[in-house]
Amino acid sequence: MNVRGRVTGFTLIELIVVIALIGIILAIAVPNFSQWMRKVQVERQTRELMADLNTARTESIYRKLPHALIMNPDARGYILRRYSSENENRTSATPASEVIATKNVQYLFQKASGGSIADAIMQFGITGYTSTPADNNTIQVVDPSNSGAAFNCVVVSTSRINIGQMAGGACVQN
């Protein structure tokens, strides 16, 4: 286009250079974005597990009924249950009780020792205390890409629940 004797617009070479620069920037940014998304998803899954465990604990106190969080057989999710009485059978993964919530997750859960946590039952009595066996008290969210999440494990102790980051085979609580 000619405006008062001057040519305006972009040349083909200028457009190709700009497109090449955009391609280089995207090639650098996309892998970082993918790793960032994995990190966020691991942290979100850890927070949700902690929130659901706290829900089971507080509902046990509030409703004066035992609650449990039961891991799925594949350890990629769990069921939150409310029991009708203190005497109800809670040793099975499928007792006759009310299901409050079910959750399936993207990343696998396991024990801090690396063993399977499949079918593990974390029970909370009417006082809010847990009778969870010691070998089930630390749950790690397994992140195969090692995304560097700020927290990826949950520690369930008798009277409280904390999140932390796995380091040296132990959950370092934040």
Kindly report the average pLDDT of the chain as a whole number.
Answer: 83
Does residue 1 sit within a domain? no
Query: pLDDT for 33-86, tens place per residue?
Result: 778 888 889 899 999 999 999 999 999 999 998 898 989 888 889 999 888 876
Query: pLDDT for 100-129, tens place per residue?
Result: 888 999 888 888 888 888 888 888 988 989
Predicted local distance difference test score (pLDDT) of residue 34: 79
Q: Is the pLDDT of residue 90 over 80?
A: no
Q: What is the DSSP letter of 156?
A: E
Does residue 5 sit within a domain? no
Does residue 157 sit within a domain? yes
Query: Can you give the CATH number for the domain in which 120 is found?
Result: 3.55.40.10
Which domain does 28 fall in, by range? 11-173
This prediction has a pTM of 0.77
- 167 pLDDT band (50/70/90 cuts)? confident
Does residue 3 sit within a domain? no
Does residue 52 sit within a domain? yes
Rg (CA), the chain: 25
